[in-house]
């Protein structure tokens, strides 16, 4: 494993741990905690990789379904972007929850939103700081 692959894996581990902590604060299904890089071998060609998320919490953009990556490292980079995109969407949602009338959302939902917004700095670091270790 080269240095870039190791850094990508460390960032993915940290992001998926934060994602698990976040979705675990409210009702969720097990599939909400799994992110995939799938390898496909076909017709005697070299493999390609696809990045997938089947959970309910975040809706993976349709344009990414079936998108092919021809190196594992590129697939890892795409997975990092996908997880960060999920967090960006949830941060937007959290702001909506906290800006709404208190009666519109239950305490668990408001606590989840507060928890996520308190970690925006960590997510920002994980997006840009490739040398950050676990």
Number of other CB atoms surrounding residue 56 within 10 Å: 11
Q: What is the DSSP letter of 10?
A: H
Q: How far apart are the first and last CA of the chain?
A: 17
Of residues 111, 117, 60, the one with CA closest to residue 91: 117
Residues 76-92: tens digit of each pLDDT: 999 999 999 999 999 99
Residues 98-117: tens digit of each pLDDT: 998 877 888 889 999 999 99
In which band, very low, low, confident or very high, does the pLDDT at 75 lie, cut at 50, 70 and 90?
Answer: very high
pLDDT tops 90 at residue 120 = no
Average pLDDT of span 68-74: 95
């Amino acid at each position: 494993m080269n240095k870039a692959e190791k850094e990508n894996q460390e960032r993915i581990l940290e992001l998926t741990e934060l994602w698990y902590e976040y979705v675990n604060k409210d009702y969720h299904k097990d599939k909400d905690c799994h992110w995939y890089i799938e390898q496909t071998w076909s017709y005697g060609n070299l493999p390609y990789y696809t990045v997938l998320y089947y959970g309910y919490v975040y809706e993976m953009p349709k344009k990414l379904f079936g998108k092919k990556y021809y190196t594992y490292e590129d697939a890892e980079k795409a997975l990092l972007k996908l997880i960060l995109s999920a967090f960006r969407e949830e941060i937007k949602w959290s702001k909506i929850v906290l800006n709404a009338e208190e009666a519109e959302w239950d305490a668990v939902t408001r606590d989840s939103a507060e928890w996520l917004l308190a970690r925006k700095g960590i997510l920002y670091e994980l997006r840009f700081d490739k040398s950050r270790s676990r």
